[in-house]
Structure 1
Amino acid sequence: MLTKNAGYWIEKLGLQKHPEGGYYKETYRSDEEIAHENLPKRFSGRRNFSTAIYFLLVGTEFSALHRIKSDELWHFYAGSSLTIHVVEQSGNYRPIKLGENLDEGEAFQAVVKAGDWFSATVNNPQSYSLVGCTVAPGFDFNDFELGKREELIKRYPQHQSLIEKMTRV
């Protein structure tokens, strides 16, 4: 049997580089849409009901701090557990451990609320983490904001160390 490493998943699932770091592939986009006038004002147009992706981080790679305008449900699939680093809009830091070791506080699924800043890291830097992300209303790159280090440090100085590690600009 072939060992399932990060390269295996990248090839088998047809993953490509993601702007925030790691690899992804959209696996679902609902055919139906929510009309713009039926969405909260933060949305700039209509959105699909829901979208889903595979997302993979390898070793010391990280998903840079970013936020979106919808709730995002994360699902654990394979590899090492990972930590989702959430800075809530209130400024509270909330780490979420996603993985299969429930006795150690990991979960198979977890939600990041709309508008919260978040990033992710692989807990075992010698491994990878394969997860899925489901977004509702569906993901649109118009709703995606990559965190800027200086702005985030001004807003959340208590998290300067995390922000410096989890941003690229």
Structure 2
Amino acid sequence: MKTRAFVICGPTAVGKGTVIRQLLAREPNIWLSISATTRQPREGEIDGVHYFFVTPEEFDDLVEAGDMLEWATVHGVNRYGTPRRPVLDAIEAGRDVLLEVDLAGARQVRESFPEAVQIFIAPPTFEDLERRLETRGTEGPAERARRLETARVELAAADEFDHIVVNDDVARATDEILSIMSSIR
């Protein structure tokens, strides 16, 4: 059986995390990639489980060697990215790999690892996305507005992806992604 890397992308509050948890629960052969970061571990975080914690110099070396599938500087301070080697190791071990990334990350992966299958998770409507973001209540009005503006940009780029899955129901969206994964194997 052939295994692959699958990029999962979508706007804030679309339910990416929920769908990914369902994928992992339903298909034990899927491995969720672990990001590398230059930030310090928080209490309870374990190197190689939550993140690969690296020094800024080690991160630079990975980038310069082409060993990052994608990376970014977040809030002008810490860098995060997807190391190539663990992804390849998981694929070589016969596992499908999920990479949960933002739009910029998906575009970088398209360049650095073009064999990865790109899946965009979309809301049924923009109004549904607004409602989900407001209902979860984790952001104030200014942050919600900023996230919704970013979501408009991300939704406008959905056609860049190999597949678009509408998350109108978590179980149905999960089924659709599993079907995509199965058809590609």
TM-score normalised over the length of structure 2: 0.26
TM-score by length of 1: 0.28
> Hey, which of these two has a bigger chunk of strand by percent?
1
- RCO higher in structure (CA 8 A, sep ≥6): 2
Instruction: Name whichever structure is richer in helix by fraction.
Output: 2
